[in-house]
């Protein structure tokens, strides 16, 4: 009974509101929405849905001995997935201008049961992570091999000197980055110019 009276009073108050106040509220709401949209378009990083040009092997799979960093090709050590007991290490030096803080990295996924993970360190802000699956002709499909690329877009603060990536078996999911046993450890050393 009390709730019904309160609802009726609120309804009467809304109906009693004159048109100019409602029009002002609507206009204000539209201006705020437009301002926010413009702000996000200019300042907020967006997911990179554009097509990535990544070197391919003759069968259409991505080359597994390279990485793209900010559009530049860097060599990766070959990883022998048959041994699985040894860890492959690779260190790449990346030179950035002092004003640069944005990094795009595209890595070949290699095997279906493996995936790349980025280090979760203070000063690294990951804003986009995508798995891009390349179309493979039916006659070129390889058992167990993934035609996928892992794409990371992130910003780094000036004090960051390196960023690490681990290629891990999916059984390692749920563990912290440092507890995950990697098959491949890629470290990007950052030098400011």
Give the β-pairing of 182-192 and 88-96. Answer: parallel
For residue 12, the model assigns a pLDDT of 65
First to last CA, the chain: 72
For residue 81, the model assigns a pLDDT of 61
**Tens digits of per-residue pLDDT, 30-71?**
555 545 443 444 334 334 444 678 999 999 999 989 999 999
For residue 32, the model assigns a pLDDT of 53
User: Could you tell me how far CA 153 lies from the centroid of its own chain?
Assistant: 5
5 three-state secondary structure: helix
Q: Which residues of the chain have pLDDT under 70?
A: 1-51, 79-85
For residue 13, the model assigns a pLDDT of 61
User: Could you tell me how far CA 190 lies from the centroid of its own chain?
Assistant: 19
For residue 112, the model assigns a pLDDT of 86
Cβ atoms of residues 96 and 104 within 8 Å: no
Cβ atoms of residues 116 and 109 within 8 Å: yes
For residue 43, the model assigns a pLDDT of 39
Tokens at 128, concatenated? 């986009």
């Amino acid at each position: 009974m009390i709730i019904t009276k309160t609802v009726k009073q609120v309804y009467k108050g809304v109906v009693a509101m004159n048109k100019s106040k409602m029009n002002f509220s609507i206009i204000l709401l539209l201006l705020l929405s437009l301002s926010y949209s413009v702000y996000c378009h200019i300042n907020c990083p967006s997911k990179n849905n554009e097509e990535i040009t990544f070197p391919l092997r003759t069968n259409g799979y991505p080359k597994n001995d390279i990485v793209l960093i900010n559009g530049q090709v860097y060599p990766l050590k070959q990883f022998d997935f048959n041994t699985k007991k040894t860890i492959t290490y690779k260190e790449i030096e990346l030179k950035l201008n002092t004003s640069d803080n944005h990094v795009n990295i595209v890595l070949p996924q290699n095997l279906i049961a493996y995936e790349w993970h980025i280090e979760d360190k203070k000063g690294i802000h990951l804003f986009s992570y995508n798995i891009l699956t390349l179309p493979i002709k039916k006659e070129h499909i390889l058992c167990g091999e993934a035609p996928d690329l892992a794409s990371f877009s992130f910003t780094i603060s000036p004090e960051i000197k390196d960023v690490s990536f681990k290629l891990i078996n999916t059984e390692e999911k749920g563990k912290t980055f440092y507890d995950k046993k990697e098959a491949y450890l890629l470290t990007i050393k950052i030098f400011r110019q």
